[in-house]
Chains A and B, each alone.
Chain A
Amino acid sequence: MDYVISILPQMLQGTMDTLRLFFITIVLSIPLGIVLAFARVSGFGWLRKIVAAYVYVLRGTPLMLQLLFVYFGLPFLPYIGMRLDDFPAAVLAFVLNYAAYFCEIFRAGIQAIPKGQYEAAKTLGMNYLQTMRRIILPQVIKIILPPISNETITLVKDTSLIYILAMNDLLRTTRNLVQRDFNIMPFLVAGVFYLIMTLILTAGFNRLEKHYAKWD
């Protein structure tokens, strides 16, 4: 027990890095995913194709590969090539990757809304923005909450991939402790930490789903 308490400060420090990446990724990738989703269902064929290709590439290759590419490969790209620090590189890779997944979730949600909802809004004089904001999106959110919840929980665990960039997130901190002390206790503590984060998210999404269930 004393040992666990002694490693807690370091593990909490690692958790902070994990949470920082998690929140920044969520805050940036969800809006980007919404924008991509609207492009994906827009009237412009070329735009739909570009976004479809983007989604295909980002979902079709490992996040780990994308992470390595942004960090090590980006500096070698002609013209746009630049060297990013490890944390910005991680954020960029995670946001680009998760936006692709969120795009598909939002697209499915938008397409699940019956045509009659748009028509009713139109006959009442609502314009495109009013229709989307007041009529369509609230209904989309209800539909997509379960898949978003899934994706978000996956993200908590995916953050551990930044281990490869030698950043001291929860997982890497844990491994360092295990190697330093020849004690596997930190693994168990890390598992509990991840479970607590997942538990909080699950509870939050359950409340949201309950809130949106009131009009069923």
Chain B
Amino acid sequence: MKKIVAKNIKKSFDDLEVLKGIDLEVGEGEVVAIIGPSGGGKSTLLRCLNKLETIDGGRIVIEGETLAETTPDGEVQYSPDASRIACKMGMVFQQFNLFPHMTVLQNLMEAPVRVQHRPAGDVRREALALLRKVGLEDKQDQYPRRLSGGQQQRVAIARALCNKPDIMLFDEPTSSLDPELTGEVLKTMRNLAEDHMTMVVVTHEMGFAREVATRVLFMCDGVVQEQGTPEEVFGHPKNERLRSFLQSILK
């Protein structure tokens, strides 16, 4: 079963059509990188998948459960269970969005304990194991503002994972980091991919897309212009927009 099936997704902000009928399928264990120029709709697509934005048309199915679909009369209808379905996806934001008034460990434990009602002792153990995995077990009692950007983002990844999602969405996770800090975050994401987590990553890190992604989508002007393996997209780009995009990045 596909983890994500999105068909003909449409989204406008006022008069601006940001997504003009996007199709996206993600299989289990796939790492899909979405690349493209700013304003091309990449982040909006990601945010539509977990209902941070509502769609104007199309259909989204997560692990066989319909999150939203267009009814025959043209209205988009969300499942009454939409929140639960959307929570199968963990999300990592460009700005980290850690809770500043909670320690690192409290950030990780909040939702599993209060929302999922898992026993606090178990959650604590799992949270500490996750912090070890992202290399921050010594920071468990720190407040987020005391951490570097790279550390904050790794905490954010651990927090999303602590909720036990089946899919991870990354919205430009390294874009607000200093160059020397992106490496540690990308390494964490690489480890996650090696553990066969299903991932959709909006990124400007072409190196990461090339090495880690199983598939690369090039989005521009609200349309998927081209997609394929990293080898196809980066090695033999067919689309004219993609070629000029890659050229401008390599300069």
Contact = CB atoms under 8 A, between A and B. Distances in A.
A124 B97 contact: no
B251 interface: no
Contact of A124 (B84, B100, B111): B111
Given A130-B115, A134-B114, A216-B145, A116 B93 contact: yes
A125 B115 contact: yes
Given A125-B115, A130-B114, A120 B145 contact: no
B198 to A, nearest CB: 16
Given A116-B93, A215-B143, A125 B111 contact: yes
Contacts of A134: 110, 114
Main secondary structure of the interface of A (DSSP, over half): helix
Given A120-B99, A130-B115, A125 B83 contact: yes
Nearest to B51: A122
Bin chain B's interface residue count.
20 to 34
A124 B93 contact: no
Interface residues of A, number: 21
Contacts of B86: 123
A215 B95 CA distance: 18
Nearest to B145: A216
Contacts of A127: 83
A145 interface: no
A117 B86 CA distance: 17
A123 B143 contact: no
B151 interface: no
Interface string B92-114: 01010111111000000011001
Interface string A104-127: 000000000010110110111111
12 contacts: A117-B99, A120-B97, A120-B98, A123-B50, A123-B87, A124-B87, A125-B84, A126-B111, A126-B115, A127-B83, A138-B101, A215-B101
Interface of A: 114, 116-117, 119-120, 122-127, 130, 134-135, 138-139, 142, 212, 214-216
Interface of B: 50-52, 83-84, 86-87, 89-91, 93, 95, 97-102, 110-111, 114-116, 143-145, 159-160, 163
Given A130-B115, A138-B101, A216-B143, 16 more contacts: A116-B93, A119-B52, A119-B91, A120-B91, A120-B99, A122-B51, A122-B52, A123-B86, A123-B90, A124-B115, A125-B83, A125-B163, A126-B111, A126-B115, A215-B100, A215-B102
